[in-house]
Structure 1
């Protein structure tokens, strides 16, 4: 039976980053993806590499600081995939967040970025407000401009996988894990590939299956407890409307959430929603309620582009991704967004990841590799993970 140091289950951005980091550290790595690389959540995000300005409201300062540091790193390591882009925050007479609150938040955001060049923000003079094409000017009190970054999430994940492979990682698509037997000091993993059952021994296993993390845990023997989670769907609509030159950060007119109006391939992308799903038995799809929600907010601020029916006729594409959030009381909007690492003493060679952000995938990978070193020992480094360029 073939043996590897690390077996990773899941070919989204977290699984890809872990495979890349572990391969750079000299570990033999096999990654199994049941469909295609970046075929689910990691291709259906808001496509932002950002600190998460709104996370300041829920006190997630360590996550924001970490995310801003990763934004800086990815702009350097993946310049063809991650690009700085201006964000605009319009503040109206009836906005829940006042101009002083926005300014205070942006000041803290700049401080948490260690006053990086992208941490700069400004108040946009009223004479320039009309340059945001179509934006409602009635009742507008202030517009603030700051910086974050945008990426093609699928291409970024694929680039990470490409780099991991160049470092020796083996990546198999359409490989469905069916059983993980945790033994003393290693695991035996069975998976279906090309119509046959394959078996491999792994000194350590990382379950990075995203929304299917608990389904993978259901295959573990001896049985292992899983964390209570909720599946939260985030949907986006692509409108056949010429894009502005930056991203508009809008307060929902229906609730306290915010959405983004973004340029995407010359058109206008709007998102996202936070719809709690009862199951993952069917492929997620954008609901009629989500369409009404997103278009309703967009029309509230951009009424010049027509009524709701007219806007629906301009929807040329839609997509949705599902993320995992801890099962807590309160709205999904306020839930913690950091990654949870689950390791149980009864199964010391198995680690499961819950949640996480596209922006912080490298931090997650480093943390997992620290666990890997403590679990199975150190290997001879092949490359410096912190200096690996992506293209």
Structure 2
């Protein structure tokens, strides 16, 4: 049985990025995906490549700086997949975030953008507020406009996988990993592909299974400790309503969260929620509370929204992503979105990914590749992922 350098389990954006980065660095890579590449959490995001303006509120400055740097890189590497889009922040007389607070946040965001032209922001003159289709003007005191970017998340994931394959990675979809046996010199991974049970050796294994991260750890022999996590569902509603020209960044009228109103495929996308899940059985579906929550926010801000029942009749699609957050007290809104890479002294050949963001998948992949190099030594580099275009 030949021994590979690396097996990546999970074909979301992080698994795809790791496969690309490790292959480019010259390592032999096999990626296993139980379903279709990019069809789970990585296809159910808010479709944004962004710095995360709201993360500044909770002091995650390094994450914002890293995300803004990656936004700049992806706009350069994947111009057909990642495009700049204007964001609008309306501030009302009863908003919890004042004009000076928004201005301070946008100023910090611009500074962290490191002279990127997309770091600029401005205050929209009152005479132009009616141009934001349907936005409630009563009580409106200011509108700020800044820039971030938008993508087709599943298409981006598949473009990264395509690049990984071109670099030599082997990618198997519809493949379920049944067991991982950690031995002193390698890991033995058992999986089912096209009905055939298969075993393969790898020097290292990456657990990039997203919300199923601890389920995979349960397949490891000898037993491996799990981290305590919260699974948080983010629901989106696609409405058959003419979309805005840009993205609206709205303060929830129910709590302190931020919700986006996004143009998507000629319609209007609302998202997202943060609902803690007790477990993850089957495909995530929106709760009644989440639907009413999102529609209520839209109704609050848009004069032509109509009654909740009318809005609900315009829902043409719903989808839910599931975030992995470190378990802690308090609102999930305040939990860290930083990636958490975990390895155990008892299982030094297995690296587990907890959390992570769509925007920063490349930095995640680079960190993992450095970890791989520390275990296996270097290889002859095949390509520089900072120069590889994504199509």
TM range (shorter): over 0.9
SS in 2 for 1:305: coil
The 1-side partners of 2:51 and 2:219 are apart by 36
Q: Write the mapping of 1:259-338 to structure 2, written as runs, cut at 5 A.
A: 259-338=259-338
Residue 179 (structure 1) aligns with: 179
Match in the other structure for 1:227: 227
Matched ranges for 1:37-116 at <5 A = 37-116=37-116
Q: 1:130 is matched with which residue?
A: 130
TM-score w.r.t. structure 1 length? Answer: 0.99
Contact 2:16 2:160 in 1 (8 A): yes
Q: CA deviation at 1:360?
A: 0.1
Residue matched to 1:167: 167
Structure 1 residue 192 displacement after superposition: 1.1
- SS for the counterpart of 1:303 is coil
Q: Distance in 1 between matches of 2:37 and 2:326?
A: 25
SS in 1 for 2:263: strand
Distance between the aligned counterparts of 1:43 and 1:70, measured in 2? 19
1:226-279 Cα shifts (integer Å, max 9, x gaps): 100111100000111111110000000000001000000111100000010111
Residue 390 (structure 1) aligns with: 390
The 2-side partners of 1:332 and 1:303 are apart by 30
| 1:363 is aligned to 2:363 | yes
Alignment of 1:190-205 (within 5 A): 190-205=190-205
Instruction: Give the Cα separation in 1 of the matches to 2:79 and 2:376.
Output: 35
Contact 2:298 2:305 in 1 (8 A): no
SS in structure 2 opposite 1:285? coil
Structure 2 equivalent of residue 354 of structure 1: 354
CA drift at 1:193: 1.3
Equivalent-residue separation in structure 2 for 1:275 and 1:244 (angstroms): 26
For this pair of structures, how many residues does the alignment match?
Answer: 391
How far apart are 1:288 and its partner, in Å?
1.0
Q: What SS does structure 2 have at the residue aligned with 1:146?
A: strand
Question: Which residue in the other structure is 2:252 paired with?
Answer: 252
Aligned residue for 2:238, secondary structure, equals strand
Deviation at 1:195, TM superposition (A): 1.5
Distance 1:171 1:115 in 2: 39
| Shift in Å, 1:304 | 1.4
The separation in 2 between residues aligned to 1:198 and 1:377, in whole angstroms, is 28
Which ranges in structure 2 are unaligned for 5 or more consecutive residues?
none
- Asked if the contact 2:243/2:262 (under 8 Å) is kept, the reply is yes
Corresponding residue number in structure 1 for 2:15: 15
Aligned to 1:146: 146
1 CA distance for matches of 2:349 and 2:111?
39
Let me know the Cα RMSD of the aligned residues: 0.6
Give yes or no for contact 2:342–2:352 (8 Å, CA) kept in 1: yes
